[in-house]
Amino acid sequence: MISGAAQADIGVLMISARKGEFETGFDKGGQTREHAMLAKTLGVNKLIVTVNKMDDPTVNWSKDRYDQIVEKLTPFLKSCGFNVKSQDDVHFLPISGLKGDNLKEPAKSPGSDWYKGPTLFQVLDCANPPYRDPEAPLRFPIVDGYRDMGTIVMGKIEQGRARPGQQCMILPNKTITEIQSVYVEDDEYKYANPGEDIRLKLKNVDEDQVQKGFVLSAIDHPCPVVQKFQAQLVITDLLEHKPIITIGYTAVLHVHTAIEECTITKLLECVDKQKKTKQKRPRFAKTGQMLLCVIETTNKICVDTFKRTPQLGRFTLRDEGKTIAIGKIVELPKSATEEGA
């Protein structure tokens, strides 16, 4: 789910309307909450929420049940950072996957006539992907690489363009290469624009020189490479046996396509929204609080500040397979640009 969301512009959140199933998924620790938070953190700004199983005997296309689910989900999605006031960014619709109601064709099941909105396919067809700057320096996080009459890398262009003959640098290992061919699905193209999922054939690169999480970057404006950065965290749900974050807390960092072990080395400021308090240099932080901290990674990674390149500046922290915090990078060391160059 994480690698898929990292390449997506638009997400479809599937909710079960069946009695008991929605509550299980939405309760603390449920997958509905985690998937929504992960999607937002990994760059999905537009969300289509499909309330499925409306044909179930416990639901029978009840508008009251649908409204109840929408009412519960809306404030939570807002807390994740989604713009719930704009139907272009968050769109709810009832469906039945089993019977195909409101997927491609409008619902025809008894009791479904109260819904007059578009189908899922119509919402997808009308959705506008977010703007990405085609003139900015190339940033291409690598999802995977393999050999096929040369080295092929796969991923999505987050900014800039890719074209044959273009000189690039693979970071963080500083490998110089040249784009030989650009492929969209099975077709070869003269160039590719930002936001497109593509494959690139590279010259003078061995397969072991490209890894998931590496970034193909413009040589003249390379992607920053760091092993330490300052971040703002929203602590979402800590583990029961590790209920606080202190200096030395270890977790797994997920940023664009990279996965790296990390340690929180400094606690700079903690904000408690409920108590409306702010504490400098706190000794610990807990669930529900915002934390300004310094994070160090085991190995060098390619990132940027959220302000400059959002796709490379937002991340998720996970511990024992569970999301414990979402965050954004607010400051890099002064040497970061030189590291990439």
pLDDT at 202: 96
Give pLDDT tens digits for 286-315.
Answer: 998 999 999 999 999 999 999 999 889 999
- Whole-number average pLDDT of the chain: 91
Question: Whats the size of the chain, residue-wise?
Answer: 341
Would you place residue 96 in the very low, low, confident or very high pLDDT band (cuts 50, 70, 90)?
Answer: very high
Q: What is the pLDDT of residue 35?
A: 83
Q: Please report, for the chain, how many H helices and E strands are present, in that order.
A: 7, 19
Under the banding of pLDDT at 50, 70 and 90, the label for residue 341 is very low
- With CA atoms as reference, report the closest residue to 323 among 251, 260, 242, 257: 251
Residue bearing the bigger pLDDT, 294 or 86: 294
- Tokens at 124, concatenated: 């997808």
How far apart CA 172 and CA 299 sit, in angstroms, is: 9
Averaged pLDDT for residues 13-28: 87
pLDDT at 340 over 60: no
pLDDT tens, position by position, 251-272: 999 999 999 999 999 999 998 8
Lookup: tokens for 64: 């009251």
pLDDT of residue 147: 87
Q: With 80 as the cut, is the pLDDT of residue 157 above it?
A: yes
CATH 3.40.50.300 assigned to domain 2-126? The reply is: yes
The superfamily (CATH) of domain 225-340 is Translation factors (2.40.30.10)
pTM: 0.79
pLDDT of residue 237: 86
Q: Where in the chain is the domain with CATH 3.40.50.300?
A: 2-126
Confidence bin at 2 (pLDDT 50/70/90): low
DSSP letter at 26 equals H
**337 has a pLDDT exceeding 60:** no
Query: For the structural domain made of 139-218, what CATH number should be given?
Result: 2.40.30.10
- Categorise residue 281: left if φ over 0, alpha if ψ from -120 to 50, beta otherwise: left
Q: What are the start and end residues of each CATH 2.40.30.10 domain in the chain?
A: 139-218, 225-340
Is the omega angle on the peptide bond into residue 172 within 30 degrees of 0, that is, cis? yes
**Which tokens hold the place of 40?**
């937002």
**Is the CB of residue 327 less than 8 Å from the CB of residue 317?**
yes
Q: Which pLDDT value is given to residue 29? A: 64
In 3-state terms, what secondary structure has residue 249? coil
Strand blocks (E) in the chain: 10-16, 46-52, 90-94, 139-147, 151-156, 167-171, 175-184, 187-189, 197-203, 215-218, 225-235, 244-245, 250-255, 258-272, 277-280, 285-286, 290-302, 314-319, 322-331
